[in-house]
Structure 1
Amino acid sequence: MKTVLKWLLRIVLMLVLAAAVVGVWKREEIQRLLAVNSLFSEEKIVHNFSHMDQAFLTVPLPRGNGPTWELPYGPAYDLPEGGRDWIEQRAVTSLLVMQDGQIRFEEYYLGTGPDDRRISWSMAKSYLSALFGIVMNEGAIASLDDPVVKYAPKLKGSAYESATIRNVLNMASGVTFDEDYLDPNSDINRMGRVVALGGELDDFAASLKDSFAAPGEVWQYVSIDTHVVGMVIRGATGRSIPDLLTEKIVQPLGLERDGYYVTDGAGVAFVLGGLNFTTRDYARFGQMILQNGLREGRQIVPAEWIKESTWPSAPTEPGKIGYGYQWWIPVGAHEGEFLARGVYGQYMYFDQPRGVLIVATGADRKFREPGVNEQNIEMFRKIAQSL
């Protein structure tokens, strides 16, 4: 009996030791997974959205040594009726309003400040669109109607094999992908765990085998399509997205602070939602886009690409919000009115004829409720029209 007890005790000790070794070996992965599981919790969401580098692997986007693009302050402006209530209801963390290149309104909320580098979520998709326009203009990509596998051969045999670049830019790949953020077993949340645990998103994209429609026929918001756009850019140029974005966009903008990308375990940027910049640095990008790609006489993004990419070319349903090449076009939009949008209340709203740019960041856990996006766009329009 004593021999059996000693044997059992020895096994238990070995299991405890093994668990301890694994715990140390996988400590960072376990910590990231725990962080992901509480990323959107009510008591942590505001802090987390300003400190994504504490939860994920990242790569820097250095601003370089050039002078900062100064954003002058114009005449003081107060929000229209209902604006303060909207800020509270929508858990807005920062709001910056620019008109004709001047800051008319800038405030921070819920304990955030101007130095916070806030997570972009899907506003990052519009940055990638701008970068795509640059590299295509430089000749790295021949046509939007090229198949994605021409530049991303790893996708051969996947659901993306018959999709074109235009299809993935339009979110019309037809690839089956569950974007339900509230379902822990959805594809979008499985993808988040891949990133947290150091997996590779290229493998994740290549593993998708099912389609619900032929490419180009149906619009459905599928975030992994944006990762495929990134694979195309990398394959066409032989360079990483962070290196290209830094050289082509970040450093020419004259930002205040370095930014950073969340990455997967292979160091590949989380291009569909992993950018982190200050609110004013988001505004610098937005102001350049508002000015049709120009900054102080330098054409950073081709003007024709901005016009084409912000046109509602995707096969969205009539009467619903439109979509271009990784940009949103509101219902009833006039020419030059479009936006970048991320979950939980991240926005860049553009009204080119009025010279208005609005940047908002948020931690709105009710962002999925019916009518919230429409309410936000209505407030942006009200602000633009009241300046």
Structure 2
Amino acid sequence: MTGLLILTVALGVLAYWKRAELVRLRAVMTLFAPDRIVHNFSNMNELFHTTPVPRGAGPVSELPRGAPMSAPEGWEDWLARHAVTSIVVLENGAIVHESYLQGTGQDDLRVTWSVAKSWFSALFGVLVAEGHLESLDDEVVKYAPQLRGSAYDGASIRNVLNMASGVEFNEDYLDFWSDINRMGRVLAIGGSMDKFAMRLGGRMAPPGEKWQYVSIDTHVLGMVARGATGRAIPDLISERIVAPMGLESEPYYLTDIYGTAFVTGGLNMRTRDFARFGQMFLQEGFWNGRQIVPRDWALESTRPSAPTVPGELRYGYQWWIPETGPEGEFLARGVYGQYVYVNRPAGVVVAVTSADRQFREAGVFEDSLAMFRSLAAHLSE
């Protein structure tokens, strides 16, 4: 009886001591639950460690209002079918449509998921232009030596930018034991993202030979950027991208317990600021009266350069490029239906947030791409 009492007390003390980790673990387990997903995606700071990305003291950049667009055919059905929570459409830099659904609002700081990869690519281009990295063909271990002996040893920066690192990594969000979900649990219960990357030892192909979308690649790019500059990513992206852009509201990153930003998908911001980012890339890196991202990088990063399979969606430096379509059509894309679609020839940007639990089903992405193209064509009439 005494032993049982001691065990009960010990378990109680342990539960109290670990209560924050247990709360975050439960948050991960219920993050995408039907009755919680919309709220969670607008309130990630309630569930995880976070750090701000200062927007700076400058004025908010102008995002004028244009003539309201008329909805294309199938618009309302598409919004409902993909559980869209917000959408901002720009034509020639002006808002022609803006709506918030499912109880969300314009001030919500929505999680971008893998749209954050494209934001990080923009920062990476600035760091390359500033000379912090000598060459994209340098091996990542030159700047992140803690990766020596891991699956990343021998991979170049360009390989990793292209998602062609060759690292074996299971990205299946619906598999509890997948690498991507194990990474999420590391983020939630107090582990180190860097150590998680360092422990990856398997390869599915030699670096540069085969394309495979693996989110940990973007974290490794973060390790490279931190190693090259000696600075934290939130500070760097604040100074080089966010403050010069004149965003409406201060974004924030999810972090691990050590304060390391979750650059693969942890950036949270307003939807109109998603749209500003798309407009900056439509304008080849120019925004708010200045060249924020080098023009050469804005063009190179959004062209197909990864060894993707012919006939499938193509990839650049953390940007997606449709297999067919006009030059200058590309998009940032995140799980559960987050998009920043850019169509330079049409002068159209579409920023979308969603809580689409069917995002992995066949035809879902194609359906959304078709709507974005329909919007671009509709606005050009």
TM bin (shorter chain): over 0.9
Q: 1:165 aligns with which of 157, 166, 189?
A: 157
Q: 1:80 aligns with which of 61, 72, 78?
A: 72
Counterpart of 1:362 in structure 2 is: 354
Q: 1:175 aligns with which of 151, 167, 170?
A: 167
In the TM superposition, 1:154-233 aligns within 5 A as 154-233=146-225
Q: 1:61 aligns with which of 53, 57, 61?
A: 53
| Corresponding letter in the other structure for 2:175 | D
- TM-score by structure 2 length? 0.98
Matched, 1:273 2:265: yes
| Corresponding letter in the other structure for 1:189 | N
Matched, 1:46 2:38: yes
Moved more, 355-364 or 20-29: 20-29
Matched, 1:371 2:371: no
Matched, 1:25 2:25: no
Q: 2:277 aligns with which of 264, 281, 285?
A: 285
Residues 245, 288 of structure 2: 8 Å contact kept: no
How far did residue 333 of structure 1 move? 2.4
Q: 1:120 aligns with which of 101, 104, 112?
A: 112
Counterpart of 2:86 in structure 1 is: 94
Counterpart of 2:296 in structure 1 is: 304
Tell me: CA distance 1:63–1:296, structure 2 relative to 1, closer, same or farther (3 Å): closer
Matched, 1:340 2:332: yes
Q: Secondary structure at the match of 2:95?
A: strand
For 2:105 and 2:235, locate their aligned partners in 1 and report how far apart those are by CA, in whole Å.
28
How far did residue 283 of structure 1 move? 1.2
Moved more, 351-360 or 10-19: 10-19
| Corresponding letter in the other structure for 1:323 | Y
How far did residue 284 of structure 1 move? 1.6
- After TM superposition, where is structure 1 displaced by more than 3 Å over at least 4 residues in a row? none
Matched, 1:131 2:110: no
Superposed CA deviations along residues 245-287 of structure 1, whole A, max 9, x for unmatched, are 0111111111111110000111100000000001011112221
Q: Secondary structure at the match of 1:74?
A: coil
Counterpart of 2:233 in structure 1 is: 241
Unmatched tracts of structure 2, length 5 or more: none
Superposed CA deviations along residues 140-196 of structure 1, whole A, max 9, x for unmatched, are 000010000000001000010010000000000110000010000000000000000
Counterpart of 1:4 in structure 2 is: none
| Corresponding letter in the other structure for 1:295 | W
For 2:144 and 2:291, locate their aligned partners in 1 and report how far apart those are by CA, in whole Å.
29
For 2:265 and 2:288, locate their aligned partners in 1 and report how far apart those are by CA, in whole Å.
28
For 1:330 and 1:319, locate their aligned partners in 2 and report how far apart those are by CA, in whole Å.
9
| Corresponding letter in the other structure for 2:174 | L
| Corresponding letter in the other structure for 1:113 | G
- TM-score by structure 1 length? 0.97
Number of matched pairs: 379
Q: Secondary structure at the match of 2:169?
A: coil
Counterpart of 2:2 in structure 1 is: 10
Superposed CA deviations along residues 75-110 of structure 1, whole A, max 9, x for unmatched, are 011220001100000000001100111000000111
For 1:384 and 1:365, locate their aligned partners in 2 and report how far apart those are by CA, in whole Å.
26
Report the aligned-residue RMSD. 0.8
For 2:262 and 2:8, locate their aligned partners in 1 and report how far apart those are by CA, in whole Å.
36
Q: Secondary structure at the match of 2:106?
A: coil
For 1:355 and 1:198, locate their aligned partners in 2 and report how far apart those are by CA, in whole Å.
44
For 2:244 and 2:59, locate their aligned partners in 1 and report how far apart those are by CA, in whole Å.
10
Q: Secondary structure at the match of 2:89?
A: strand
Q: Secondary structure at the match of 1:121?
A: coil
How far did residue 296 of structure 1 move? 3.2
Q: Secondary structure at the match of 2:97?
A: strand
| Corresponding letter in the other structure for 1:92 | V
Counterpart of 2:250 in structure 1 is: 258
For 2:353 and 2:265, locate their aligned partners in 1 and report how far apart those are by CA, in whole Å.
14
Residues 61, 288 of structure 2: 8 Å contact kept: no
Q: Secondary structure at the match of 2:350?
A: strand
Matched, 1:140 2:140: no
Q: Secondary structure at the match of 1:340?
A: strand
Counterpart of 1:381 in structure 2 is: 373
Unmatched tracts of structure 1, length 5 or more: 1-8
For 1:305 and 1:319, locate their aligned partners in 2 and report how far apart those are by CA, in whole Å.
25
How far did residue 62 of structure 1 move? 1.8
How far did residue 23 of structure 1 move? 1.4
Larger Rg: 1
For 2:350 and 2:297, locate their aligned partners in 1 and report how far apart those are by CA, in whole Å.
21
